[in-house]
Amino acid sequence: MKERKFTYHWVIVVCVFLMYAVAIGICVNCFTVFGPAMMKDMGITASGIQVVNLIASFANLIGAVFIGRVMMKFGMRLTMPVYAILLVAGLALRSIAHSTIELDIYSLIMGFGLSGVSTVPGGMLINNWFTDKKGTATGIAFSGSVVGGLIFVQLSSYMVASLGWRQANLILAAITAVILLPVSIFFVREKPQDKGMLPLGEEEGKTVSAGIATGISSKSFFKTKEFWLLAFVSFAIGFCNLGMQNNVTICLESEHGFTAQFAANIFSITMFIQIFGKFLLGAVYDKKGDKFGAIYNLVFTILSIVTLSIAVSTPMAIAFGAFFGMMSSMTTVTPPYITALVVGRRNYAQIYGLLSMFFGLGSAFGPLFASAFFDATGSFNIAWYIFAAISILTAVFSIIAAKGSRAKGYATMMD
C-alpha cells in the first residue's frame, strides 16, 4: 500500500515544534532580555537575577525526572494541559513580583510547568509516533526552540523598551497560553493508536512492535552499562555545548578583542545556523545511522573548537559561528534520538527523564568549568581542548551504547 506523504504523524511534529517555540523560546531564551530590566526596576543584583534563572532551571530539571512516570500513570492528554497552566501561571505571576523571593517562587512554578511541555514529552511524542524518519522528525520538531528564540527575543526586546518588562512579560504569558493550551488539549495524542494509526514506518503484522510498545524496562536498564554510557553522553553534550555557548561572547570580547556588538552578531549567526543544522542532523541520523551521526557531530565540534581558539580575525570568527551552529544542533536532537534508539518505546519517558537530569547538570557545570580556566589563565583554550577530548569520548560512548543495545535487543524487549 502506498504511504501517504502527509499523515497525523506530521501534525505531532508541528505540535512539538510549537511547544518548543514557546516553552523554550519564550520561557528560557527570553530571560536574557528581561534580566537587566528586572535588576533596574527591583534593585536586584546580577547574581540575584542569575539565582532566579537557576531556580527555574532546577525546577525543570527535577520535574523532568518524574514527568515520565506521571505521564505513564495519568496519560499525556490529562497531564500536559495541567503543566501548561502551571507554566503560564508562573510566567504571568512574575509580572506582579516585587521582591526576589516572589520572583524565585514564581520561577519555581514556571520551571516545574516547563518540565511537562518541553524536552521529555516532546521526545516521547516523536518516539511514540515515528519508527522511520525519526531523526528527521526530531530535527524539525526540536528546531522550534531556535525559531522561537529568534522571534521572541526580538519581540521581547522591543516590548521591554516600549512597554516595560512587566507588561511585556504578561503579553508573552498570553502568547504562551494561546499556543500551548490548544495544542496540548486538542491536537496532541500520546500514541498513534489513539487515532487508529501505527507509528510511521510500521505496518500491521510486519514489525515486532506493530501496535505494541516495546523496549527494556527502566528498572532493568538502570543496571546496564548502556545506561551509564548514555548518562555520560547526556552530561557531556550539555557540559561541552553550554560550556562554550555561555562563554562565547566573553571569549570573543575579552580574549580576542572584538566589540560587544560583533560578538552578539556572531552568536546570532550561530542561532540562525542551528535552524538548518537541526534539520540536517536529523536527516543524517535517518539516512546514515547513529555511527555516522556521532562522527558528524564530532567533526563540527573539533572545527568549532579550533576556529574559536584562533578566532583573531573576522573571517575566522564568522567561520566559528557557522561551525558552532552546526555543533550545537546536537543539544536537542542527539540525546532523545540516541535514547530512543537504545531503549525502545515502552519506558522511554521514564528513562529519558532521568537522562535529561544528567544533561541539565552538564549544562550547569560546563560554563563554570570553562570560565574558571579563563579567570586563572586569561584564556579559554585549555577548557576548549578538554571539551574536544570529552567530545571524542562522547562519540565513542554513543556508538558503543547503540551497538550494545542492538546486540542485546533492548529496543524490542517485552519484559
Q: How confident is the model at residue 57 (pLDDT cuts 50, 70, 90)?
A: confident
Residue 213 lies in a domain: no
| 185 and 227 inside one domain | no
Residue 152 lies in a domain: yes
* Buried b or exposed e, range 126-159, using 16+ CB within 10 angstroms: bbbbbbebbbbbbbbbbbbbbbbbbebbebbeeb
| 168 and 270 inside one domain | no
Residue 200 lies in a domain: no
Residue range 299-313: mean pLDDT, rounded? 96
For position 314, which CATH number holds?
Answer: 1.20.1250.20
Residue 2 has a pLDDT of: 47
| 341 and 407 inside one domain | yes
| 264 and 169 inside one domain | no
Residue 207 lies in a domain: no
Question: Which tens digit of pLDDT belongs to each residue from 192-229?
Answer: 999 999 999 887 655 444 456 788 998 899 999 999 99
Residue 208 has a pLDDT of: 47
Structural domain for 14, as ranges: 8-195
| 77 and 186 inside one domain | yes
Residue 274 has a pLDDT of: 92
Given a cut of 60, whether residue 70 has pLDDT beyond it is yes
Residue 294 lies in a domain: yes
Domain count across the chain: 2
CA-based nearest residue to 3, from 126, 190, 128, 132: 132
Question: Which tens digit of pLDDT belongs to each residue from 144-173?
Answer: 999 998 899 889 989 999 999 999 999 999
Residue 153 has a pLDDT of: 86
Residue 206 has a pLDDT of: 54
Residue range 301-328: mean pLDDT, rounded? 96
- Mean pLDDT over each residue of the chain, to the nearest integer: 91
Residue 211 lies in a domain: no
Residue 271 has a pLDDT of: 87
| 135 and 175 inside one domain | yes
Given a cut of 90, whether residue 117 has pLDDT beyond it is yes
Of the two residues 33 and 255, the one the predictor is more confident about is 255
Of the candidates 195, 229, 250, which is a domain's last residue?
A: 195
Residue 67 lies in a domain: yes
| 283 and 320 inside one domain | yes
Tallying the residues shown for the chain, one arrives at: 415
Residue range 110-122: mean pLDDT, rounded? 94
% residues pLDDT > 70 (the chain): 96
Given a cut of 80, whether residue 1 has pLDDT beyond it is no
Residue 224 has a pLDDT of: 95
Residue 246 has a pLDDT of: 82
Residue 110 has a pLDDT of: 97
Residue range 256-263: mean pLDDT, rounded? 90
Whole-model pTM: value is: 0.85
Residue 1 lies in a domain: no
Of the candidates 138, 163, 195, which is a domain's last residue?
A: 195
Residue 129 has a pLDDT of: 95
| 145 and 234 inside one domain | no
| 166 and 279 inside one domain | no
% residues pLDDT > 90 (the chain): 72
| 155 and 249 inside one domain | no
| 153 and 275 inside one domain | no
Residue range 113-128: mean pLDDT, rounded? 94
Given a cut of 90, whether residue 72 has pLDDT beyond it is no
| 79 and 114 inside one domain | yes
